[in-house]
Chains A and B, each alone.
Chain A
């Protein structure tokens, strides 16, 4: 018995951790590294590959489609991140008030987040359908804003706009949840004290609520940036013509003139962006 308690604890720890670590190393860490390796090859769908150095990257920086995809991604990220945060904040403030059936409402508005993307995209397609959709009915027949019906999802420019709205709809619940949790933890007495000092509701919002929320709002923004940079399904299934980086990678890797090496190099670039964001999140938000 010369094993110390700490040592035996450490052994048990490793025994329990080992299967998970093995799975993660083999199926996540190794593929990430392998992806970098693949980006220096001309890779066929069948697995055959030829070393071509940095040719893939050279092709990317001269490819206008790549830049247009970067631009689309930037607009998509800016629109969705701002939208989700602002809508999430407003809804959280609303749900923090007292009203009848509040708990039911709080739960119901989480539905968009949990519903399968695939099961809601076609509903959205229908809403914007040029022939049957309620959107064109409202805009053309009821409000008479334009004379002719538009196929918003058919054109890449307007489709991007629809995708952003869809994404805000789908993800505001999660930012609302995070913000509401913080709102509920603010000490009520501070509001009462401020009210006694003559602060109106608007002043109370700016002097008490907002400073308390800075941190959680920052968290929401950076988490949305991370998750939305990874988003594939929401964009591809609703509007396959909107080519954000993940969609662009998918097309390059699996459709048309298949070029998996090139796709790997796009993934590497996206991975660098992502790592930067995650690093920022870990340092600033989790403070490790």
Chain B
């Protein structure tokens, strides 16, 4: 329809688009803005910081001298008191230094990254072959497997929370940190495997059969065709599925909180952020900059995979 819009309609359209953009993006702008503000500026509704504050970022990324940033003014005055011995001063300072470790961002980042990347890799590896079988081959029991995958794909993590915890307690995994990490890894794999199978299966179906038939004529076996034809053709989709699984694991909070609660050094970012928020060290600029830093890898993946991701999602390949 090539209808010309009147001026009034154009204004209306612009306002509507602006409103949708504002609704979608305002919380992000708010987070970024607060992460860059000084405390005196928090109550100010303006989104542009009166004075730029990078302290929180520097502290989180470990670029700051620990002792200086943490000791409050009143305590600094107290430390100037000549009556205190060096030993006592040391003690006072150390109580403040310990809190600076409360959110070791680089460490949590690494934990989350390793866990998410491993889960996404295993899940993708399993799905590459499983999805091929589901979409291109005929085998006994295929229908029931297909339906079961669709079914488990929609069973949320909450429903598996108690049994999975009890199972890992029973076989002794929940007792040690490594056992807990293994449990968590397995859980992230099952949270991403059904959706990987589903997304990849849908994609494989779009690859013409004639390609495989031609390869078969040239003497290529069925399993050879996976590596020589299907694999190379679906690289963009493989990356997309990997990214999607990675994001799911990166964002996961529930099971991390169940399995890692007592192992502070192995917290993932979501768990670390939540415990920072409820701790006495909760300061808005610190929370917001931690939020921004947690978001960055996801946004990076998002930009990278957006094209394939949206078409995959529009076909219903969603896991939440």
Contact = CB atoms under 8 A, between A and B. Distances in A.
A123 B288 contact: yes
B202 to A, nearest CB: 12
Interface stretch (B63-71, B75-83, B92-100, B138-146): B138-146
A146 interface: no
A54 B132 CA distance: 44
A123 B26 CA distance: 10
Nearest to A227: B320
B28 interface: yes
Interface stretch (A30-38, A60-68, A74-82, A152-160): A30-38
A57 interface: no
Given A27-B190, A254-B258, A260-B162, A122 B147 contact: no
B243 to A, nearest CB: 10
A126 B287 CA distance: 10
Interface residues of A, number: 95
B45 A177 contact: no
A232 interface: yes
A47 interface: yes
Contacts of A108: 21, 24-25
B126 to A, nearest CB: 5
Contacts of A120: 27-28, 31, 291, 295
Contact of A271 (B16, B159, B167, B197): B159
B190 A10 contact: no
A178 B17 CA distance: 19
A52 to B, nearest CB: 16
B313 A20 contact: no
A223 B314 CA distance: 12
A226 to B, nearest CB: 5
A246 B145 CA distance: 28
Nearest to B26: A127
A277 B28 CA distance: 34
Contact of B21 (A45, A105, A174): A105
A17 B170 contact: no
Given A47-B166, A169-B23, A246-B156, A278 B151 contact: yes
A2 interface: no
Q: Give the interface SS of chain B, mostly helix, strand, loop or mixed.
A: helix
B284 interface: yes
Interface in B24-65: 24-25, 27-28, 30-31, 34, 42-43, 45
Given A14-B139, A47-B169, A126-B34, A28 B155 contact: yes
Given A126-B284, A232-B158, A253-B162, A10 B150 contact: no
B273 A16 contact: no
Interface in A86-115: 91, 94, 97, 99, 105, 107-112, 114-115
B238 interface: no
A116 B294 contact: yes
A282 B126 CA distance: 25
A16 B132 contact: yes
A32 B164 CA distance: 9
B129 interface: yes
A115 B291 CA distance: 10
Nearest to B37: A132
B133 A123 contact: no
Nearest to B247: A114
A20 B30 contact: no
Contact of B295 (A99, A116, A249, A263): A116
Contact of A122 (B1, B31, B138, B189): B31
Contact of A111 (B28, B145, B155): B28
Interface of B: 1, 13-14, 16-17, 20-21, 23-25, 27-28, 30-31, 34, 42-43, 45, 126-127, 129-130, 132-134, 137-142, 145, 147-152, 154-167, 169-170, 186-187, 189-190, 193-194, 197, 222-223, 247, 250-251, 253-254, 258, 269-270, 273-274, 277, 284, 287-288, 291-292, 294-295, 298-299, 302, 306, 310, 313-314, 316, 318, 320
- Nearest 4 CB-CB pairs, A to B? A230-B156, A13-B139, A20-B130, A123-B31
30 contacts: A13-B142, A16-B133, A17-B145, A19-B129, A20-B127, A20-B193, A23-B189, A23-B193, A27-B190, A32-B163, A34-B163, A38-B163, A94-B16, A99-B17, A109-B24, A111-B299, A112-B27, A115-B298, A118-B269, A120-B295, A123-B27, A123-B31, A125-B277, A126-B34, A192-B1, A232-B157, A274-B155, A278-B151, A282-B147, A282-B151
